[in-house]
Every structure is written in structure tokens, then in C-alpha cells.
Amino acid sequence: MTSNPSGIGKLDNLQQEADCIAFPACRRGRGVHDALSKPLTFFEQSPRSDEIAARFPDLHPAFDKTAAVAEANRCLYCFDAPCTTACPTHIDVPRFIKRIAADNVEGAAKTILDANVMGESCSRACPVDVLCEGACVLHRYNRQPIAIGRLQRFAMESLNETGGGLPYAPAPETGKSVALIGAGPASLACAAELRRHGIRAVIYDNRPLPGGLNTYAIAEYKLTPAVSLREIDRIHALGVEFHLNTTVDAAMLDRLDNEHDAIFIGVGLGAVHRLGLDGEEKYNITDALTFIAHYKSGDITAISGRVGVIGAGNTAMDAASASVHLGASEVTMVYRRGPEQMSAFHFEYEHAKHEGVHFLFRANPVGLKGNGRVEALQLEHLEMTSDGSLVPVPNSTFELPVDHIVLAIGQSSHTELLDGDETHPPRLKLERGRIVVDRATGQTSDPRYFAGGDCTNGGREVVDAVADGKRAGRGIAAWLGVLNA
Ligand SMILES: Cc1cc2nc3c(=O)[nH]c(=O)nc-3n(C[C@H](O)[C@H](O)[C@H](O)COP(=O)(O)OP(=O)(O)OC[C@H]3O[C@@H](n4cnc5c(N)ncnc54)[C@H](O)[C@@H]3O)c2cc1C
Ligand code: SF4
């Protein structure tokens, strides 16, 4: 698995590299500008691999203008539109669609961005079938729902073509400042909202580029790093400050606490769980997030041999589909339960099946076989008892020959920077590893701390993180006494 088509060794090293994921553009020095030249935008620093671009064509190619206007004209422009209610950021869907129909595409984009500063990535990554499009009234008439996601994407791309920016400017400075930990969608949306209220927003992130999972994890055929970073340039233009390659630990958090009026925590989730099998560390087993980040960076452009993906959530589906696109000879997903219990969205499952991924249900990994490299995954069949628990079927052990294993069995929480010790309680109240917040404002158990996104909801969608960040931005502004109407 490598950009060098002759070899397959690269995946072996991925786990060791997990903590220093850097995109090649930065390593090639494109991210380093000399003092006299204009700093590169984030978009200009995005990685680019022609091979990856060829292997991951768009899942839903963009509408052209004629198709967009025709689709917009199907909309009933509902009053109290259920699509708007279903959107966690409450984009005024009928309004932006009407503007497309009226050939006011810039106005449409501004309607979207006014409600959702990350409307471009959401137009590509949102599970629209279960959100806006799932709620469209046309379902009631047995008609195709309006393709809201694709219309939104059309509006955002049209805005990019005209070089348009956000529909608002930062408010006059209030002298207040907030540190935001993490540069994922939650912090970015919070930071935009803070600038809208004249509050200084300073973001810290441990990776070389901002965007969190938007830049590093979402399947390439939905969202490329370039699109994610172009969107972040718009937020940057509001005067948001970025400190990248900077890990915030408990000591640094103390310092930021002294320097700022409030803190926003948007650190997402932590590492992918391991299997816990004997000798696991010896073999070429990687976790799905590392694998995905490496192909998105162009570090891996091909994979050979058989891949076993363990897990059955959306991340597992993405890793399995990506393995197919990268050229794996056979991809098998292994899951302890049955298809009806998978946490992946149904359409993600259908997509993976359509891509040619095989599924092995009610199978539990019990061992690894190989000589330096993994050669087979040892599994046992499971069956469900009358009380719903899973038990091994006696004498049912079997082997799945594999050349690579990718783990996607859930992520741990990631709140070390809030940890206490024997004498100090944790800095914030946590429940099952999640930071407890007031949903309306994002405020935590410490009134100066706010939080949102995956670290509070346990891992949902980009649009949920954006909605959390937006609410928290307003919550902070209100708490600091600078909320503009
Ligand atoms: C493989 C995968 C595919 C996905 N696909 C989709 C999809 O198709 N559609 C969709 O809507 N959602 C998808 N999601 C979910 C979505 O990406 C997340 O819900 C969203 O990114 C959460 O945003 P966040 O800001 O809370 O956290 P993140 O995006 O995780 O960002 C957190 C950031 O904080 C940084 N950080 C953490 N700790 C520290 C620290 N101590 N100091 C400094 N920085 C720190 C991290 O490096 C990271 O950059 C996917 C998730 C995964 C894992
Ligand atoms: S529910 Fe469907 S038809 Fe009604 S406004 Fe929304 S997209 Fe248009």
C-alpha cells in the first residue's frame, strides 16, 4: 500500500506515524513561506495527488445551472418547512432554493452561510437522507425529495467561482477574547460566531492543517481536503487566529485560562480502540483514522492484497470502500452482530455493498496468524441467546486470510487535558467520557468553559458539531455580555 505501486509496505508503518500525520504539501515545504511573500492560504497548502483524485471521483457530481434551476423549481417552498427544522443549523432551505430558481445564486449562498458557516462541507458530507431530504414533504406524495444537498453545493460552488465571501463582517472589537482548543468544525463554527460579535477567537490545534476530521477523515469522494480548507479560509478572513501543530495539555490550558475570558473545548474524539488480541502490536494492523488520513494526504495511493475491516459503523464503511478504490483484491468487513444492529447509516452500507465489499456477520476476532506480517484473522462464530446476548458457537473457529487489517471499532474519549489527579477533581463534569454541557449555550460545569462537537455528543455528524459551535459562540457572547441581536 504505497504511492510507489511496486510495494505494499507503507501500511505497516502507519500506526507508528499516527501521531505525526502531516500532509505532503506541508512536508514538501509548500506550507512554509518566506518572510517577503504573502502567507499561503490554507487552500494553497492542501495536498494534491492526481492518483487519489482519479481513484476517488465525486460521489454525487455537481449540478450545472440548468439542472439546478430545474430542481429548484420542483420545490414547494413550504411554510414552516420540515427540511429547515430537520437541519441542525436550521438553514432556511426554501429561501435558498427559491433564490436559485430566481437566478440569485449569490443570495442563495449567503442564505446558507448566514445559518451555517460550513455550508460547503455540509453540502457534501451531510447524511441528507436522514436530515433535510429525509424530511422533505415530497416523500408524502411518493415523489423524489428535493436534492437539497446538491443544490446547496451548487450555490456554494457558484459563490467560489465569483470569489464571494461570508455574508457578514466581524463586529467592532469588544476587547474580549476566547481560546478554542481544536480546529474541527465545532471550534471553527464557534470562532466565526465569536468574530461576528467582536470577540477575539484564537484556535489551537495539534495538526498541521485546520479542519479536524473534515480535512483528515471524511471520505475523499464526498469531501476533499482542498474543499475543507477553502471553506476555512473564509473563516480565517474574519480575523480568527490559528496556532497549528500545538497540543494543548493541562499546563497550557492553565495558561490559556489566565489569558482569555473564556475557553471553548472542541477536541473531538480520541484514538480508535484496539482489539486486545495477543501480539496485536507485532502485526500490520492500522486504525481506520490513520489509514484514511494517509490516503487523503496522498501518502498511500494504492493497496494490494486482501483487507479485513473490523467494525460496522460509518467509519468502517468508509475504510472498506476506500480500500476497494485503492485497489485491494478483496475487502471483507467483520462484525460481531447482524446487519440490523450496525451503527452505519443504511445508505452507507448499501454504498459499501455496491462497491463490492463483502460482509461477515456474527463473527468475533479471537486471534491473529502470521509470520511478521498478518496472514489471517482467526474468528469464531457468535449466536444470540434468548436474552439478546452473544455467545460463541462451540467449535466454530475459522480463518479469514488477510494481508491488512483496519480497525474501526469505535473511538475513545479524548479529555486528558481536563483530567484531575488524586488531589484535584477533573476540570469539567464528564459523563461516560463526554463533557456535560447545557445544550442551548454549550456552557459546561465551569461557567468560563464551553464545549461542543464530538467531545460532547460522543461522535455524530459535521453539521451537529457546527450547530454546537454556533450555539456555544452565542452562549459565550451572551455570557460575556456582548451578544448582538
Ligand atoms: C472516518 C470518519 C468519517 C466521517 N464521515 C462523516 C461524513 O461523511 N459526514 C458527516 O457529517 N460526518 C462525518 N464524520 C463525523 C465528523 O467528521 C465529526 O462529527 C466532526 O468532525 C466533529 O467535529 P469536532 O470539531 O467535534 O471534532 P474534530 O473534527 O475531531 O476536530 C477536533 C480537533 O481537535 C484537535 N485536538 C484534539 N485534542 C487536542 C489538543 N489537546 N490540543 C490541540 N488540538 C487538539 C484534533 O486534532 C482535531 O483536529 C466522520 C467521522 C469519521 C471519523
Ligand atoms: S420540504 Fe421539500 S418541498 Fe418543502 S421546502 Fe423543503 S425541500 Fe422544498
The residue that leads in pLDDT, 23 or 230, is: 230
pLDDT at position 30 over 60: no
Angle among Cα 222, 226, 230 to the nearest 5 degrees reads: 110
pLDDT at position 259 over 60: yes
Nearest protein Cα to ligand 2, atom 2: 136
Q: Given this model, what pLDDT does residue 27 score? A: 38
Count CB atoms within 10 A of the CB of residue 328: 24
Nearest protein Cα to ligand 2, atom 6: 83
Residue 121 CA to ligand 2 center (angstroms) comes to: 21
Nearest protein Cα to ligand 1, atom 5: 218
CA-145 nearest atom, ligand 2: 2
Residues 442, 415, 117, 349, Cα dihedral to 10°:
-110
Nearest protein Cα to ligand 1, atom 26: 453
Nearest protein Cα to ligand 1, atom 7: 125
pLDDT at position 335 over 80: yes
For range 208-213, the mean pLDDT: 97
Which ligand has an atom closest to residue 138 CA? 2
Testing ligand 2's pocket by substitution, the residue of 77, 87, 99 carrying the most ligand atoms inside 8 A of its CB is: 77
DSSP for 199-230, written as a single string = -EEEEE-SSSSSSTHHHHTS-TTT--HHHHHH
Residue 472 CA to ligand 2 center (angstroms) comes to: 28
Testing ligand 2's pocket by substitution, the residue of 85, 91, 137, 151 carrying the most ligand atoms inside 8 A of its CB is: 137
Residue 411 CA to ligand 1 center (angstroms) comes to: 11
Cα separation, 318 vs 482, in Å, equals 42
Residues of the chain with CATH 1.10.1060.10: 65-162
Residue 230 CA to ligand 2 center (angstroms) comes to: 29
Residues of the chain with CATH 3.50.50.60: 280-407
Cα separation, 295 vs 302, in Å, equals 8
Instruction: Determine if residue 135 is left, alpha or beta; phi over 0 gives left, psi from -120 to 50 gives alpha, anything else beta.
Output: alpha
CB 200 within 8 A of CB 207: no
pLDDT band at 58 (very low <50, low <70, confident <90, very high): confident
pLDDT band at 104 (very low <50, low <70, confident <90, very high): very high
For range 13-41, the mean pLDDT: 50
CATH superfamily membership of 65-162? Alpha-helical ferredoxin (1.10.1060.10)
State which H helix or E strand residue 474 sits in. Answer: helix 462-479
Residue 214 CA to ligand 1 center (angstroms) comes to: 6
pTM of the complete model: 0.92
Q: What is the pLDDT of residues 169-179, one digit of tens each?
A: 999 999 999 99
280-407: CATH topology is: FAD/NAD(P)-binding domain (3.50.50)
Alpha helices in 209-345 (DSSP H): 213-216, 225-236, 250-259, 288-296, 314-325
Cα separation, 317 vs 339, in Å, equals 13
- Ligand 2 pocket by Cβ (under 6 Å): 75-78, 81-83, 93-94, 136-138, 146, 148
Q: What is the mean pLDDT of the chain?
A: 90
Lowest mean pLDDT across 72-81, 175-184, 191-200, 382-391? 382-391
